[in-house]
Amino acid sequence: MNFTQTWSGSNGHPRQRSRSRASRRHVRLANPNKALFNLKLLLALLLALAVLSCSKTAPRLTFWVGGAPQEVDFWESLIDDFENRTGLKVEVIRQPSATEQRKQGLVLALGARQPDPDLFVMDIVWVSQFIRSDWLSPLNGYFDEGGLRPADYFENIVDSVDRYDGQYFALPAFLDVGVLYYRTDLLSRYGFKDPPATWEDLLRQAVGIQQAERRRNPNFNGFVWQGAQYEGLVCTLLEFARSHGGGFQRNGRLDLNQGENRAALTFMQDLIHKHGISPANTYTEMREEEVRQAFQRGNALFERNWLYAWRLHQRDGSAVQGKVGLAALPHTAGRAGAATLGGWHLGISKHSDAKAQAWRLAAFLLSKEVQKKMLLRLGWYSCRKDVYRDPEMRAKVDHIDLLQNIVAHAVSRPSRPYYDQVSRVIQRHANDCLAGKTDARTALDRMQQEIEQVEKYYAPQ
């Protein structure tokens, strides 16, 4: 079964190294039965040996990774460290920040069985598709070498995401959850002691403060969140749905047409069109980075975003440095809050011609030392259990207990090798509703009908 859609455009730039690898192979496979056998074969063998021995002494790895510019800079600094320690050379191919764009480049390269990238970072929701498309190398054989064991990780995550048929095909570089960022200075200026626990509280605080703040800053909004038509909207919809008592699945089947989901989607639409605390560009352009920047420029009271935004808000030059709080996302009265589980996992390409070196790099990035650095510098939450037992981490990481609690209750998007197709249906209809083209009932009806067709096609009963 092919789980891949038609992809257009690549983000990984074709590179000289791929060509030279291909031509090396050509030398190795040259047919000796042709004329001029002796001399040419000898020369070819010598050349092949020279190339092979050269590639042994100076193997070059390609690592594809994306994110906000500061995040990729950080990956590069880790790679420098790895190169200095091992003498191996790594070529980092920078990918964009949006998850779909990152995926397009990888799907093209892996689908075409190119030897690059050797190692890459995958969104948690792609892993199942990549495994079932046979694009990932099994890792069990390497574990002893890197001193890594799946038991070092939160088992509920590695076992449900990275394992298939008894083999592990990926490991988490870091995990992610949706949280609420808020302006501590504004809440206290307007007399609110705590961040909102319920959506009703959030609405009350945001409506009043937005009205007052707009006198000074016409660009000010009460609440910014991801509503553009892309994967991030599936994550926010899941959070609103769960925190209204709904969800995406019932009895193991995808079932979005629930009354609680209707209330949740209506509330999302109302935030924009009725209450006016979320801007109209929520459904046209708001992805992670647009949302983070709006808040970081001082133009919002509340922000829904992933963990990475915390450190960036505190950097020099941020208009909100020292004025940001972090809380669990609200819920509707009488329900529990919910955060979508996100995160990025490392995998080695099945077609890599430098698998052993790729594993050395993966083991380095997954080591406790590097995982601690990721958490301290960028606020990326490790999936290794020992990181949270470490006294240094307990002393230095903000909100560590709160975050552990949020992670422990995080909800996963449905895991399916054809998740992409399901996600696109959800994105399209949820976005139509946010844009005011349909009401929540119609959007969810259509979503459910189309999802059932997708399921019938990919997983006929």
Residue 242: count of CB within 10 angstroms of its CB: 25
Using the CB atoms, write b or e for 87-122: b if 16+ within 10 Å. ebebebbbbbbbbbebbbbbbbbbeeebbbbbbbbb
Closer to ligand GLC by Cβ: residue 118 or 288: 288
Closer to ligand GLC by Cβ: residue 176 or 303: 176
Specify whether the CB–CB gap between 235 and 342 falls below 8 A: yes
By CB under 6 A, is residue 228 in contact with ligand GLC?
Answer: no
Tracing tokens 């959070």 back to the chain, one arrives at 239
SS3 50: helix
Span 258-297, contacts to ligand GLC by CB under 6 A: 288
Specify whether the CB–CB gap between 246 and 264 falls below 8 A: yes
**Tokens matching residue 284:** 């046209």
The one segment of 206-214, 228-236, 378-386, 436-444 that binds ligand GLC by CB under 6 A: 228-236
Distances (CA, A) of 64 to 67, 164, 288, 367: 11, 23, 20, 19
Shortest Å, Cβ 195 to ligand GLC = 22
Tracing tokens 């764009």 back to the chain, one arrives at 101
Closer to ligand GLC by Cβ: residue 186 or 338: 338
Closer to ligand GLC by Cβ: residue 230 or 388: 230
Distances (CA, A) of 74 to 117, 123, 284: 19, 18, 30
Sequence letter at residue 5: Q
Shortest Å, Cβ 307 to ligand GLC = 8
Closer to ligand GLC by Cβ: residue 183 or 287: 287
Closer to ligand GLC by Cβ: residue 59 or 347: 347
# chain residues binding ligand GLC, by CB under 6 A: 13
State the virtual CA torsion across 450, 454, 459, 461 in degrees, nearest 10: 30
**Tokens matching residue 412:** 């996963």
SS3 89: strand
Residue 15: count of CB within 10 angstroms of its CB: 15
Residue 359, phi then psi, degrees to nearest 5: -65, -40
By CB under 6 A, is residue 306 in contact with ligand GLC?
Answer: yes
Closer to ligand GLC by Cβ: residue 305 or 352: 305
Closer to ligand GLC by Cβ: residue 125 or 354: 125
By CB under 6 A, is residue 420 in contact with ligand GLC?
Answer: no
Distances (CA, A) of 214 to 210, 218, 295: 6, 5, 15
**Tokens matching residue 263:** 């209330």
Shortest Å, Cβ 267 to ligand GLC = 20
The one segment of 129-137, 249-257, 292-300, 342-350 that binds ligand GLC by CB under 6 A: 342-350
Span 134-193, contacts to ligand GLC by CB under 6 A: 176
Shortest Å, Cβ 303 to ligand GLC = 14
By CB under 6 A, is residue 129 in contact with ligand GLC?
Answer: no
By CB under 6 A, is residue 221 in contact with ligand GLC?
Answer: no
Shortest Å, Cβ 235 to ligand GLC = 5
SS3 383: coil
Tracing tokens 């006198």 back to the chain, one arrives at 215
Shortest Å, Cβ 271 to ligand GLC = 19
Q: Choose, by CB under 6 A, the member of 59, 232, 347, 379 that binds ligand GLC.
A: 232
The one segment of 54-62, 118-126, 212-220, 361-369 that binds ligand GLC by CB under 6 A: 118-126
Helix axes 440-458, 259-273, angle to 10 degrees: 130
Residue 186 exposed, middle or buried by CB count within 10 Å (0-12, 13-18, 19+): buried
Closer to ligand GLC by Cβ: residue 142 or 240: 240
By CB under 6 A, is residue 71 in contact with ligand GLC?
Answer: no
Shortest Å, Cβ 378 to ligand GLC = 13
Q: Choose, by CB under 6 A, the member of 222, 343, 347, 417 that binds ligand GLC.
A: 343
Q: Choose, by CB under 6 A, the member of 152, 162, 231, 432 that binds ligand GLC.
A: 231
Shortest Å, Cβ 4 to ligand GLC = 18
Q: Choose, by CB under 6 A, the member of 71, 118, 123, 420 that binds ligand GLC.
A: 123
Closer to ligand GLC by Cβ: residue 118 or 176: 176
Task: Give which of 83, 430, 80 is closest to 228, Cα–Cα.
Answer: 430
Residues forming the site for ligand GLC (CB under 6 A): 99, 123-125, 176, 231-232, 235, 288, 306, 342-344
